[in-house]
Structure 1
């Protein structure tokens, strides 16, 4: 950063750059043009006014335009007529007048501006054509609508019509009274319901009066279209002969207004506007060449921040007069500015196009900066050393004298120059290849030599008693000059000041000493100890400022520093302390020349700052009310099917209900902050939804979707281009629950639950009774089943007992059968033995026996034969077996009908588990016969060899 000052010319600057209170006569204020495609209206804008919220209204060819700092809105009157005039009343009514129609807009219950016609009160039988309403005025409780032919007075809902004596031209509200121009009677004043002619004003009958204002309580300024400016006092009108009058005579006037009762804005047909003081001295002249989009100014208005709005023949222009900044830009032939300095009554400016200068012998109004011939190209620096003007240029080290190039001392490109302490006749300059030495001789400054020892090039260097310090990137080089100033005898490189801090931020000269800075901490170099040590006092001054890149002390003892793409200042106070100031320079953010910032401080009224597109002039004394706290507005609140325009008033900030079916809401924000609109930012928080404020953003709209039923508070803040935040604007609303979650629904649910519980209890009771009944029935059934089961079991038991008895009986029978069989077998054996005895007795010859023996023998034989023949045991046995096994024999016969009785007997004997021998004896057959009978029986029963015959018989 470079600071250049020229103390001898401070007094001169006070003379020529006096800032006349608010409007500055040096440089141009910030202009902002609004084109028709931006505000979506017609080209011409005939009237401007402002409401209590700061919203602006424009009488436009296509209707009424409203601007809230963020968005434009357009409203039309019933006949779609253009609107010529607009005025906002204290009660919020926005009165307008157009062709054949006049009335007012007023916000309805939803905040939407609705038009109400006043012209409907006109008796159209008497007045068929209203014509254009050119002017309207609100004075006390009366509203005046003025056309060429009549004056319509609206009061308490009634309309009174006053005919023009001849033909009205225009009307004006001055000192709370209404003045009109009549083409035959001159100027007239409306008093006590009638028009009174002003003496000495018929001189205006042959011209049009477009403006009228009070310079004091007794003197009026009257602006005519083509006859110039007049002063009216005590019944006498006379031309106001001055600079402003000459401008009007040349360019025609379309009206005038006052700025804070100090300055007069005069509209023109041909050449924009001029702002003059009350003596008629022009302070500013703004036209198309100076940045306006059109030279014909139809209307002008001063807003609540004393800024100027211009309604043009094509578009709208905002003039930021309430600012300590003015600018020299393209209209002054300036581009990127790298340095500036005052010298010999001229302001010199080094730019990328060359070195320019402007005389200080008069104010900056129309003159452009003049290029110093021969300096076309990149001019890096301009500075005064020992009364001589030096320019570091791409084409070499140049000397400038009275706006002319007096010589190029060295053809290498140079960044800048420094005096060598202790060597007053020598300069050192940093060039593209290193450094050069310049010597002051009797004939003036001349190039001496190029210093050897280093070829590093940088624009940032400082010189103290022993060393040249060069900063390149984040390193610093310590360059020791040889006694003959021909070379650097020693070169040492430093990459940090202390081990704990990496890199070196900047080097600068403060109070004649070289300081090294990194991370806002300042260090000096000790040659005795060969190290850097911190200046704690200076570091403490910068402890609470942002991390900066460059810092410099100006001629007033203030410190200027750059950070990011912005600039700030520590202003020195009377008590020696410093006050940090950043906000006033916020609108310069992004416009500073990177790595080449230029600050030229002459005094607190004149500070010049180099920009990428010109030069800014800053007046520190003019910022008393420059930065005001902005206001935030929630402009509108909308949800599907409805919109509330909160910014127009009338809308309560509490109690809006949103149906759950339309729970998608949208907010728009606004702020009547018209300076640097592109840097106005918003932050919002929806209490009940957002946990914290949103990041700052230039977006002035926010939507929320699918909000849950609840009470919400929308809060919005705005931050202007100077970093000043507003208080939060608040709007409360409630998202109603869906019908199934409405409080009445919950009451219904409670009742439904109660009824349901009651019905369920009743049903349960009935069910319990029914269950008890069925349980009783079931128990009875179970009892009967158990009883029947018991009976059945008793019966089965009895049967089982009977069966057991039968089985036992059967067993007994079988045992008896066995016993009988055994007995029968014994009988068979006995009979067999007896038959054997009989056979053996036959072998005895009885004849050989005596008679007694023979008798006894025969008797014995007969007795044995009788015993054998009369024994029926076998038949009884056979009968008994058939009786015992009758069922078996029956089943066997049914299953095998072809079985023989003999095979049935064999089956019975086998079932009785009799052995082959016993069967053979009973059946009176041999054992082989039994086996053969068994084989035949097995074959008849269809059994194979592996099947058990007895087991099969037992299964039948």
Structure 2
């Protein structure tokens, strides 16, 4: 609501509404222009019911406020408002509990170089102000830390700013002010830098380089060692494979040799069996021949006794004599015995080594028994009686130390 209104001599309408002043200025076309911006500095400074506007001259107005008078003119404003400025008045390194900048309207030479601070736990505070004396509470500030902030901060009446744990870099702090009329000042600035941490110093980079070279060297050695180990393992593996194949070849060769020996032994065994059969047949033939000659001799003896003719008797006697010579002849027996000894040489050797007390005749009896030749047929082969064969068998049993329950032929087959 309007608490005060006044018309001046030029037709302009001055007013106060909600403790804010303004004017409706009359134009040449008899329209009004509403002007409020120049009076923003007076907002809230009127006493309700005691507002006062006094035009003492053309385009000159004295305005009463709670703490005095204000002068207004539509002509260019005074020099003080056109030179709005802002200054950084104090800069503190709170982590070092020190002040490194006290403010100066004329920057010193060292300011262009900036200030340096330790990277660890850094905490920087900037205090700034604008020398506005007619309305200091309405000044607003905006700031930016170049190299850290992305944009200017919103306008506010805060007159300080703190930054903590800044990264290592070079920074420029800038601040500007704005008065109630919206006039902005030129920014003030302060340059400073945060030192690199120890792990970003040239010495650290040199250490990184040395460490990298050492790691590369160790890596190369490790790779070479791995290659050497792999090659050695491959050689050992190939050697094991070669040895396994060699052992397999030797085993196959040994098996082949054993098979050859087995086949050879089977062949020798078969030959032995064949020769045993031949020898047995030869022995049987010899026995049958002697039996036949003995029977023939007995027939001739009966013929000689029954014959009365002396000539025929003499002739029969000659035949009997020849038969006796043939029966007693050792030539055929010697051939048989030579073949028998050749066939049973190994058997006779083993038997003699085990029982050295056996005589040659007893050894030959054992061989005949091994050939499963009956006792009756062994007698003529040994040129002894059947009773003599039995006696010889008894002596063999006694020398071998075997009881009557053990079969002698079965024992000889296992020798």
With structure 2 as the length reference, what TM-score do the two structures score?
0.50
Give the helix-richer structure, 1 or 2. Answer: 2
With structure 1 as the length reference, what TM-score do the two structures score?
0.24
Give the strand-richer structure, 1 or 2. Answer: 1
